[in-house]
Chain A
Amino acid sequence: MPMPTSANPPLGDLRAALARAQSRRKWRAFTLTVPLLVFLLLTLLVPIAALLMRAVENPEVAKALPTTVKALATWDRQSQPDAGAYAALVKDLSHLPDTSDAGALARRLNTEAPGARSLIMGAYRALPIEGDAEAVRQQLLDKDPRWAETEFWQAIAKNGSRWTPDYLLASVDLRRDAQGDIARMPEEQRAYGGILLRTFQVSLIITVMCLLLAYPLAYWLSTLPERQANLLMIVVLVPFWTSILVRVAAWIVLLQSEGLINTALIDIGVISKPLELLFNRTGVIISMTHILLPFMILPLYSVMKSVPPTYVRAAVSLGSAPLAAFARVYVPQTLPGVGAGALLVFILSIGYYITPALLGGADDQMLSYYIARYTNVEVNWGMACALGALLLATTMLLYGVYRRLGKTDLALA
């Protein structure tokens, strides 16, 4: 019986060895990508997850007022709560370890019921309040008659759980009413629907403007010989590399009523009164178009570079009019670039903050302005995260729509 030698192994062994070698190689390749994966995980997924968490987190009331929440569980949320609830509230407040918990509670309730901040802090400062339930109720009412209003109790009862849909609902102008049913915000408090719509409008205008300006430019660049094209590309890229703040400041200098553009137009007699170009929609659109233009030019240029000029020539030689050949043969081949550029510009502009903040009026601010405001000024991070989640969701949705329509992946090169 011939023994299998190492020089001549059976087929099965060979296959296993090959598989082993391949999987080793695969693992090695994978290990090389591990740092990147970890980096992505840490810098992208973790913050996004934290953001989504924060948008639904609601620990303040549950943490600070557990007995009050329990006492209010059977309350009908219409009539005045019974004395037991008042006693439970005072008991909870007196158990808080330090002011910062009371402060956090006051802030949370104030976003639901304006005025709750001074109410809660007033009661907290008035501690100790002693006596039986009825006496406690009377003392609180003497201290501040607003304790009789159901609005504040409803805010406590509604926020008894550690998770809340409230911030997310508020970001689309909805709210839970006293009974916990979802309803629209009162007319004068509806803001974010309009702001989101405005954000889309402005972004769409900017995308179209960029496309109109970039398409002919990119086409021209792609037809030039390499050396000239490179030189001109630098002209496109230098502003792209300049700080946004510098460019925005430059636009303020150019656009103001005694600025370069207005004085020049007046000097040559086109207009007699300076145009209002700054601190309104016009200023925002002009400067954002300028700032985002390279994001349109670059993908268009790279796609146009790869379109063989012979096709148009062939179409013309077969009898097509030059313009028709351009529209029917050339343009369709550049559509991936148009899609990628438009998507890029649109997504970048819906998240824009600094340019509208500096060049726009009060009614030109986009969603990011309010995210920044809630983060920095109001320090209401739940609301900021909910608005951030809204922005994220719309961006993803748009990308989904784009893939559906274009049936392609984002092609940038």
Chain B
Amino acid sequence: MKKSLIALASLSACLTLSAHAQEAITVVNFGGANANAQKVAYYEPIAKEGIKVTAVEYNGEQAKIKAMVDTKNVTWDVVEVESPDVARGCDEGLFEKLDYSRIAPKADLLPSAVSECGVGVFVWSTVMAYNGDKLKTAPTSWADFFDTKKIPGKRGMRKGARYNLEFALLADGVKPADVYKVLATKDGAERAFKKLTELKPSIQWWEAGAQAPQFLVAGDVVLSTVYNGRVDAANREGRNLQIYWPGGIYDLDYWVIPKGTAKKDAAYKFIAYASKPENQAVYAQNIAYGPTNKKALAKLDKKVLDNLPTSDKNAKDSLQFNTTFWADQGEALEKRFAAWATQ
């Protein structure tokens, strides 16, 4: 009797052990250069700690998460989402409320990286960039971006209202600190669209982050708005793309856990692992996006720091993406953008 109990106990111990050894979770990201950096910094090393990560790429479509949660068939365990969707999904009960004691001390993280349902993954920025090999006169302001006489040629911009309205106001002489105040008024939105209309014939729209550096390299556009990490990735491949930092709009991406996943514990372990300073430092060395754990900065050398949107030099005169504003006004402004594009 006793023997069989021991056998049973050891058997169950074996089972739990092997279950631990084979924990596998699905982590969803935005793909591209960012996914490669995450693979090196997080997905591969965490396998040694007993968590096997299957990486899936998506384009930020919240519909898939909503469908999974609604049908209680959640197959994504950790998802990287953009800031407006963190608050929106949290309000609508799509994500688990996070227990920070299982992730990292809140004091170590950037204040904006801590939210009810999401913890910051990295800081990125939408900036102006140009091809250093092709453009003779470098732009010195956002007004230059809209000035096709001074710098002739096409401009690359993200297809949609987001960022472009902010940049239009900057070009129209609004101070970075006042951009969202102005944009929130009816006249402000009017002013932004009017400024965009001036540039409209010269705009080439991009939709996926990887397109903008391609346009610049190919010479399709002379100036483009672009995610700063994509510029870094292109330069690592031997291009000479230059960034104009002032007026860049920085924002965070967040990890969330879709509500109802069966692998919540492993998901927490993954997020905790990806929030550790040493791992975030590895990430930042592989792509120029800023760590959300403040302690990671000490582990980076000057060359890496200079490229991050969080460095003092680059963050000066940049503005933080206003999540609340876009959560409230986004749908109306995007619809207006669609109407504007038709005209």
Contact = CB atoms under 8 A, between A and B. Distances in A.
Contacts of B207: 357
Interface stretch (B42-50, B175-183, B311-319, B335-343): B335-343
B204 interface: yes
A158 to B, nearest CB: 17
Contact of A361 (B205, B220, B332): B205
Interface string A186-218: 001111001100100000000000000000000
Contact of B218 (A107, A118, A257): A257
Interface in A361-381: 361-363, 365, 370, 373, 375-380
A395 interface: no
A114 B332 contact: yes
A102 B205 contact: no
Contacts of B23: none
B205 A376 contact: no
Contacts of B343: 194
A378 B334 contact: yes
A103 interface: yes
Contact of B328 (A104, A118, A198): A118
A117 interface: yes
Contact of A191 (B61, B327, B342): B342
A153 interface: no
Given A103-B92, A115-B329, A118-B327, A379 B62 contact: yes
B31 interface: no
A99 B116 CA distance: 12
Contacts of A362: 159, 203, 205, 337, 341
Contacts of A258: 218-219
B66 A189 contact: no
Given A188-B339, A362-B159, A380 B331 contact: yes
A256 interface: yes
- Interface majority SS on B: helix, strand, loop or mixed? helix
Contact of A377 (B61, B93, B220): B61
B187 to A, nearest CB: 13
A363 B93 contact: no
A363 to B, nearest CB: 5
Contacts of B93: 98-100, 103
A110 interface: yes
Contacts of A188: 193, 336, 339-340
A32 B207 CA distance: 49
A378 B341 CA distance: 18
B91 interface: yes
B61 to A, nearest CB: 4
A262 B311 CA distance: 43
Contacts of A48: none
Interface string A313-351: 000000000000000000000000000000000000000
A118 B325 CA distance: 9
Interface in B60-104: 60-64, 66, 88, 90-94
A174 interface: no
Interface string A366-400: 00001001011111100000000000000000000
Interface in A88-119: 98-100, 102-104, 106-107, 110-111, 114-118
A117 B62 CA distance: 17
Nearest to A376: B61
A114 B91 contact: no
Contacts of A233: none
B158 to A, nearest CB: 10
B339 A194 contact: yes
Given A99-B91, A363-B342, A376-B64, 8 more contacts: A107-B92, A116-B328, A118-B324, A118-B327, A188-B340, A357-B207, A361-B204, A362-B205
Nearest 6 A/B pairs, CB to CB: A100-B93, A103-B92, A103-B91, A376-B61, A191-B339, A362-B341
25 contacts: A99-B93, A103-B92, A104-B92, A106-B91, A107-B88, A107-B92, A110-B331, A114-B329, A118-B324, A191-B339, A194-B339, A195-B338, A198-B342, A257-B218, A257-B219, A258-B219, A361-B204, A361-B205, A365-B338, A365-B341, A370-B338, A375-B63, A376-B63, A377-B63, A379-B63
